[in-house]
């Protein structure tokens, strides 16, 4: 789901103003409580113009999520490219650090992601669009780990990729539910614990070489 062509025909400054207004509103309110009127007010555009650029609120919301996902995938891809000599599990830990850093540098986008994950129905609807690329990225990482000997040869790459994705989603829930005043450190601890679980379950052992 993308904006209408008329949106992309706007001057860059006006497009950015609308997106910034949307990020403000969606970061302050859950999707269902966010108001088009407030986005229109913040971006200083006539309300009628909004519907020339987007079908509805969900159209704009999905576009903001696209931008968030694109930013996150760039960060993850950069980690993978810079960690060619690291083990799969160390790469996952580096991804955690990069994701935490991204959240600290982009608090509004981070809050939008948190609000999305706290809405199971909306999350399922939105995440289905991203699951193939997310699972594909993780599957390639698992295959690389098998080839390099980090991961046991019996591990199914496709299943492992889905498992990692499920762990990541569950991790987000666990961090949001924590009472800790230091969410950054809590997120780091929980992510590292998750990687430890994956490593203990999937790493290559001597008996794998003998079988």
Q: What is the DSSP letter of 151?
A: B
Residues in the chain: 211
CA–CA separation, 48 vs 112, rounded Å? 25
Q: 102 vs 172, which has greater pLDDT?
A: 102
pLDDT at 208: 57
CA dihedral sign, ordered 73, 74, 79, 84: positive
In the chain, how long is the greatest CA-to-CA distance?
70
Please give the span between the terminal C-alpha atoms of the chain, in angstroms, as a whole number.
49
pLDDT at 210: 46
Checking if the pLDDT of 211 tops 60, the result is no
Checking if the pLDDT of 183 tops 90, the result is no
Q: Sketch out the chain's domains with CATH numbers.
A: 5-57 (1.10.10.60), 67-210 (1.10.357.10)
pLDDT digits (tens, 9 = 90+) for 109-155: 888 988 998 888 998 888 888 888 888 988 998 998 899 888 999 99
What would the mean pLDDT of 11-33 be, rounded to a whole number? 97
What is the pTM for the complete model shown? 0.83
pLDDT at 64: 96
């Amino acid at each position: 789901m993308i904006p209408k062509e008329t949106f992309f025909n706007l001057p860059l400054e006006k497009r950015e103003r609308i997106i910034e207004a949307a990020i403000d509103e969606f970061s302050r309110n859950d999707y269902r409580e966010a108001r088009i009127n407030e986005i229109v007010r913040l971006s200083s555009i006539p309300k009628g113009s909004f519907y020339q650029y987007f079908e509805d609120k969900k159209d704009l919301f999905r576009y903001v999520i696209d931008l968030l996902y694109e930013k996150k995938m760039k960060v993850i891809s950069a980690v993978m490219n810079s960690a060619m000599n690291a083990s799969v599990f160390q790469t996952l830990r580096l991804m955690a650090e990069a994701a935490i850093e991204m959240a600290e540098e982009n608090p509004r986008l981070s809050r939008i992601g948190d609000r999305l994950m706290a809405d199971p129905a909306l999350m399922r609807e939105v995440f289905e669009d991203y699951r193939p690329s997310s699972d594909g990225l993780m599957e390639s990482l698992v295959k690389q780990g098998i080839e390099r000997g980090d991961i046991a040869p019996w591990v199914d790459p496709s299943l492992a990729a889905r498992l990692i994705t499920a762990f990541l989603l569950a991790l987000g829930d666990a961090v949001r539910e924590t009472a800790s005043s230091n969410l950054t450190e809590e997120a780091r601890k929980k992510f590292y614990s998750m990687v430890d679980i994956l490593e203990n379950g999937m790493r290559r052992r001597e008996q794998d070489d003998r079988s």
